[in-house]
A = this chain, B = another copy of it.
Amino acid sequence: MTNLKEVARKAGVSPSTVSRVINNHPYVNEEKRNRVLQIIDEMNYIPNINAIHLKRGKTNLIGVVIPFSNHPYFSQLIQGISEEAIKLDKKIVLFQTSYDTDQEIDALEMLKLKQLDALIICSRNISLTIIEQYIEYGPISIFENITHSKLRTSYIDHYQSFLTALNHLYEHGHRNISCAINRKKSTSSIERIAAYKDFCIEKSLTYNDNNIYENYVLLEDGYDLSKEIQKSLNPPSAIVVSGDNTAAGLLLSLNDDLKENLSIIGFENHKISKLLNLTTIEIPLINIGKSLFNQLYDKSVSNQLFETRLIARQSVKNINI
């Protein structure tokens, strides 16, 4: 295989000149540059890009930590991240963790070992303290509301968004309201539960842990959720479901009685919510993905709040108070 030295010898220049040409370094005499490029072409020389990256200390690879690929919430983030990465000619290395902390550490270690230039964390299981130990090795952006840290963040206000949904139901006369969330201990769920508790206190409604359905995240989970609600002794008149996917599954699984009597609000404004006329809180996930990527290249660390908004459709009905 042709190597750099052979190219240099044949072109009558030093190996470092060849290297400078390959790296698009300035201060190479135009005539020499053309000669080197011609020899490279003639000898069909393939510069070892890994060697070039090694010298530059850059790989142009950006790690993306996500729990699952085949969930619309996360695939929209990936879509946004990828759209921006293409513009800067960066490549995305996907760490599909299933919330396994070993996989999360793997991504952080690759940043440390300079196998990645930077890291985007879409959702995590590992503690923030551990992530923060890796900030010195490269920029890290995260989809989470964290300040007082060197992490670059794009985030939404889960507390306020959840409260908006609850108040919308209250304004439509609902007093017996349940919630369905994903992992109870995730940072977003903690904010949502806090909003629910505060809402109950403010409106003088009885707060009950049993009104919070946990671990509902997939489309098919909506079916299970409908069964849970049906067997409840005191079924709610309305439910806030923390994702459109599950909300859609729920809506499509309701029996005739619940279809008539259960109001539903989802989150995301995923495409299916429009088709199903599902009231939802829009989360601009593709734009958040774009922001998470672009923040990596900002000179200063920033925290970007993304607004959410209620999109009222037909899945919330008025109830007589």
The contact of A114 among B49, B92, B103, by CB within 8 Å, is B49
The digit string for A83-118, where 1 denotes a CB below 8 A from any CB of B, is 100100001111110000001000000101111000
Say yes or no: is A69 at the interface (Cβ < 8 Å to chain B).
yes
Confirm or deny: A54 has a beta carbon within 8 angstroms of a beta carbon on chain B: yes
Interface 9-residue window, one of A73-81, A153-161, A233-241, A302-310? A73-81
Chain B residues near A50: list those with CB within 8 A: 50, 53-54, 59, 113-115
Q: Confirm or deny: A191 has a beta carbon within 8 angstroms of a beta carbon on chain B.
A: no
A218 on the interface (CB 8 Å rule)? yes
Residues of chain B within 8 A of A93, CB atoms compared: 61, 91-94
The reply to whether the CB of A205 lies closer than 8 angstroms to some CB of chain B is no
User: In the assembled complex, which residues on chain B have CB atoms less than 8 Å from the CB atom of A75?
Assistant: 69-71, 75
| Copies of the chain in the assembly | 2
Question: Given contacts A49-B114, A50-B50, A69-B79, are A275 and B94 in contact (CB under 8 A)?
Answer: no
**CA–CA, A44 and B59, complex, Å:** 23
> If A112-B46, A271-B220 touch, does A91 touch B82 (CB 8 Å cutoff)?
no
Inter-subunit contact B94/A91 (CB<8 Å): yes
CB-CB nearest in chain B for A64: B94
Q: Select from chain B the residue with minimum beta-carbon distance to A89.
A: B106
| A135, B36: Cα distance in complex, Å | 28
A49-B113 contact in complex given A82-B94, A91-B94, C-beta closer than 8 Å = yes
What 4 A-B pairs are tightest by C-beta distance, nearest first? Answer: A82-B96, A70-B75, A69-B78, A70-B79
A-B pairs with beta carbons under 8 Å apart, 20 shown: A48-B54, A48-B114, A50-B53, A50-B113, A69-B69, A69-B75, A70-B76, A70-B78, A72-B72, A86-B96, A91-B94, A91-B110, A92-B93, A94-B94, A218-B271, A219-B272, A220-B274, A249-B275, A252-B275, A252-B276
